[in-house]
Chain A
Amino acid sequence: MEDFWTGVLWAVKIWLYLIISLIMIPAMFGFSLGISETYMTILVKTLEWATLKMQKAHAEEQALKASAANGLIQREGGSMEKELGELRASRPKPPVGGDFTLSDCFYFTRRGIESIVEDEVTQRFTSEELVSWNLLTRTNNDFEYISLKLTLVYGLGIFVRYCILAPLRITLACIGLSWLVIGTSAVGLLPNWRIKSWLSEWVHVMCYRICARGLSATIRYHNRENKPQKGGICVANHTTPIDIVILCNDGCYAMVGQVHGGLMGVIQRAMVRSCPHVWFERAEMKDRHLVTKRLKDHVNDKKKLPILIFPEGTCVNNTSVMMFKKGSFEIGGTIYPVAIKYDPKFGDAFWNSSKYSMVSYLLRMMTSWALVCNVWYLPAMHQQEGEDAVQFANRVKSAIAHQGGLVDLQWDGGLKRAKVKDTFKEQQQKKYSSMVVGDDSSSNSD
């Protein structure tokens, strides 16, 4: 019996030594031993092979799927004026009164039914549909028996993901997070010398690198010359809280956010000791002036780290960019846009917060294949003369959407939980009534 326990102890020791020498030390100094690269190459090859196998098995169905991959229906996206004009072209104009025709309801009805079948907003808050199965059961495609080989690979995949990768990743995440808390607290005790900020940055980046390895993140940074500078604001599209880990792998940011309880709270309190992050109490958050003022003070201090803000205010499923809240664009200072695009083939990065808690989301991420993502640094942007915050926010949003290959949407991400405001309906009605009545005529349509 004693032999057994010494054996276990010995195995654990070896395990930890391996982690430290193969992962922790490279992470500390930011170099790579090429293990994850090899893993990625094998993974890409396997998935390609599996796709090929499945395509062979369902040759016709695949063609159908591919054509339907981007939508269930085909829309004729004309404006209200154009479509109503076409509808009325074949109809005689009513002899008296306004310009109303009974067939006008066709336009609204078709639009309404189209949005029931497929809409732009609610679908952004559910997982993205995949074109081909990536050997994970939880995606839109369920497991189905195709061939013995494929089933064996699938089984092997489960073994590797749950029995080898998951324990390794969980150990790493624990080490990374506890190191973050200990490290930042320790640095926080130092006097305010120059070495403090240097050490704080080092501790932060090191912890994020360990965490990123805990998610097998393969991150490609593009246009590094545009990296956010001190005294600026970095804005990015938001898919998951992991976005922070991804961005901080390449440099430190000052975070802005609400004070959380639980595990997040412990981390937040530790971090703020070594580095000036901006955390707000829930009540303070409501006071817009106070928020703007604190952020302004931060930006004006050129020695402080760039602020990282996700102006969408909610996680979107990485197929689109939704409305940017104007608050972050009212602060002034240089805006550094960043586009983040995850590759859904290796695992769904989107955090569906209404369905999964933070911990179960992280466990899902750790049992996925890997986290592959591209980060583009865009050239700095400034507010132009005669441009208000909303227009500026839209300009930045389009730039990010264009670079990341995401759909640029006008809708507010807050609709995930709240209902749409009546004013939007009134806008539609106004548009139609101006067509029926005409802008200047006071003739009533009845």
Chain B
Amino acid sequence: MKIMICPVNGPRNIAEFAWGGEVKPDVDPVTCTDQDWTDHLFLEANIAGIVTEWWLHTPTNTWFIARRNTLTDEILETMTLDAYYTREGAISA
């Protein structure tokens, strides 16, 4: 059984989680082109390597961020949104 660690609820069977897509920068639906909006909603980069993704713990409806290595199929880390944005803020500052 594969285990994922929900940052709020702890280690759980992977069957309790749903994939939510790659983390992408927001685009403004008012000013962007239709192509950009389509890319944002539906198209994934499908990187072979380390990706940062949205995941959902379905019993609690908890959305969080996970970093995975798609080549080795390892879950490297998971974190709450607050922790992710704090880290991203620290990196971009």
Interaction A to B: no
Q: Which residues of A contact B (CB under 8 A)?
A: none
Q: Which residues of B contact A (CB under 8 A)?
A: none
